[in-house]
């Protein structure tokens, strides 16, 4: 087998992995409602999003350092196996709690391998060609965004379990392709100690904080359990700051934040994830509040996803050819705030005419989802242009953490709002607030020439 054959197999395996995992993530809004309905837990549907997002957020900071220490290929394959097993457990679950826990474990494993996918692309094709092939990879992820909800809507009309009976064997095939084709890259930090204290404090901060945000509405913000969770989160963030100041190899490469342009992308990525979290609740709103079926709920975001796949390809080529990101960040930010402005009209329409509310949802979700094409490219190719090879894994993991933590933070708030009267309508106000900050950061952002230090 030639080197090119192995490259082809490896890249095909990565594409399949990215496509199927994104398909499962994007279908969660539809099959999550079906699962919660079957087990009579509709008001707790947010737990399906929140705990999985918490798990991703907790693991992503570890991914870069672990990949460098144990080997990116080994970590990727091990995490992919855990992902497949966890969803297999979820597929056969007989109660809501088992499914939620299984999906949370899938979030842990996804957080470990997803960032390494982009570093593995650079390992296969080199840093010069990496952004271009990352764009191709992300275009398949965006294709999954297009078909994820409609596919879930169709299979849920038969059984939500069918979602996993179909996808898990395909992921197993992707594992085989990656196991054969991926190169074994030398470890960068084998002799350097892991930031164990930072990793532990990250878990202590992220998990209690997210649970407190999710359960606050149900238990009461002044209840003992919520206060205890916030106290644990406070201890975690305090410990994290102390450990990161002393660590030789900190889990968070905070020195990157000394550059205001990198910070701009980091903040834009964070707040877009905050805004985009509202899209998770569109299928629930369509089915529970507007009384449309799962098939209708599954196609609300279709126009936006069709635009997103085109933007992903165009932005990936633009990033590879020019190394310029200013225009993409401007489109990203202004489209998000435009979606938020449209959503402001949703409340009145929902009480008067469900069809009008449905049209407003389409009009708002379309620009919000379309600029997934920017999120798929900017945060994950920008580090390729400005970081050294040994910094790439940690830098991309840190950038990915910003987006995932934004989603986790927003899902906690959304989960709390779901327990309040008309709380789901308040969820759709998030893009206005988040988009405003994104626009400000996009205006401040300036392209950094390749080779400049950060």
- Selected residue with higher pLDDT from 290 and 22: 22
Segment 196-202 mean pLDDT: 77
Q: What is the pLDDT of residues 75-95, one digit of tens each?
A: 888 999 999 999 999 889 888
177: Cα separation from own chain's centroid:
24
Q: Is the pLDDT at 451 greater than 80, yes or no?
A: no
Q: What is the pLDDT of residues 115-164, one digit of tens each?
A: 778 778 877 777 666 667 777 777 787 778 778 878 888 888 888 899 99
Q: Is the pLDDT at 218 greater than 70, yes or no?
A: no
- Selected residue with higher pLDDT from 231 and 5: 231
pLDDT band at residue 454 under the 50/70/90 scheme: very low
pLDDT for position 188: 55
Would the pTM of this model clear 0.95, i.e. be above it? no
Q: What is the pLDDT of residues 318-375, one digit of tens each?
A: 877 777 888 898 999 999 999 989 888 876 665 666 788 888 888 888 999 888 888 8
Q: Is the pLDDT at 253 greater than 90, yes or no?
A: no
pLDDT band at residue 380 under the 50/70/90 scheme: confident
Pick from 102-111, 120-129, 316-325, 378-387 the range whose average pLDDT is largest: 102-111
Distances in whole angstroms, Cα of residue 94 to Cα of each of 38, 43, 152: 10, 18, 19
Segment 27-43 mean pLDDT: 77
pLDDT for position 389: 65
pLDDT band at residue 165 under the 50/70/90 scheme: very high
% the chain with pLDDT above 70: 83
pLDDT for position 352: 64
pLDDT for position 89: 92
pLDDT for position 311: 85
Segment 393-412 mean pLDDT: 74
- Share the mean pLDDT of the chain: 80
């Amino acid at each position: 087998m030639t080197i090119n054959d192995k490259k082809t197999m490896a890249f095909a395996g990565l594409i399949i992995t990215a496509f199927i995992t994104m398909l499962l993530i994007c279908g969660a809004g539809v099959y999550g409602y079906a699962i919660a309905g079957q087990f009579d837990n509709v008001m707790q549907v947010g737990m399906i999003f929140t705990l999985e997002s918490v798990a991703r957020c907790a693991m992503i900071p570890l991914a870069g350092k672990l990949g460098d220490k144990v080997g990116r290929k080994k970590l990727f394959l091990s995490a992919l196996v855990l992902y497949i097993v966890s969803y297999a457990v979820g597929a056969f679950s007989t109660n809501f709690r088992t499914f939620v826990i299984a999906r949370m474990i899938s979030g842990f494993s996804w957080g470990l391998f997803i960032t390494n996918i982009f570093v593995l692309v650079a390992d296969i094709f080199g840093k010069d060609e990496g952004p271009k092939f990352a764009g191709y990879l992300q275009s398949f992820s965006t294709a999954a965004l297009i078909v994820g909800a409609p596919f879930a809507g169709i299979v849920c009309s038969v059984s939500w379990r069918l979602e996993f009976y179909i996808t898990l064997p395909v992921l197993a095939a992707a594992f085989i392709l990656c196991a054969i084709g991926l190169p074994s890259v030398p470890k960068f930090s084998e002799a350097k100690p892991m930031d164990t204290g930072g990793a532990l404090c990250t878990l202590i901060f992220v998990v209690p904080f997210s649970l407190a945000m999710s359960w606050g509405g149900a238990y009461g913000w002044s209840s003992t359990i919520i206060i205890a969770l916030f106290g644990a989160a406070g201890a975690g963030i305090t410990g994290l700051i102390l450990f990161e100041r002393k660590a030789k190899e900190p889990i968070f490469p905070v020195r990157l934040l000394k550059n205001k342009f990198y910070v701009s992308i980091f903040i834009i990525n964070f707040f877009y994830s905050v805004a985009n979290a509202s899209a998770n609740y569109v299928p629930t709103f369509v089915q529970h509040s507007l009384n449309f079926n799962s098939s209708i709920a599954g196609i609300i975001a279709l126009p936006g996803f069709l635009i997103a796949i085109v933007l992903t390809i165009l932005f990936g080529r633009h990033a590879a050819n020019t190394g310029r990101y200013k225009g993409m960040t401007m489109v990203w930010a202004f489209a998000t705030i435009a979606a938020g402005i449209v959503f402001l009209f949703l409340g009145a329409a929902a009480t008067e005419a469900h069809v009008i509310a449905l049209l407003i949802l389409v009009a708002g979700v379309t620009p919000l989802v379309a600029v997934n094409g920017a999120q798929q490219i900017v945060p994950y190719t920008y580090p390729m242009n400005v970081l050294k090879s040994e910094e790439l894994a940690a830098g991309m993991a840190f950038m990915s953490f910003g987006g995932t933590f934004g989603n986790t933070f927003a899902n906690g708030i959304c989960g709390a709002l779901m327990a309040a009267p008309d709380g789901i309508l308040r969820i759709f106000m998030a893009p206005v607030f988040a988009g405003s900050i994104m626009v400000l950061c996009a205006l401040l952002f300036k392209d950094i020439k390749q080779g400049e230090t950060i």
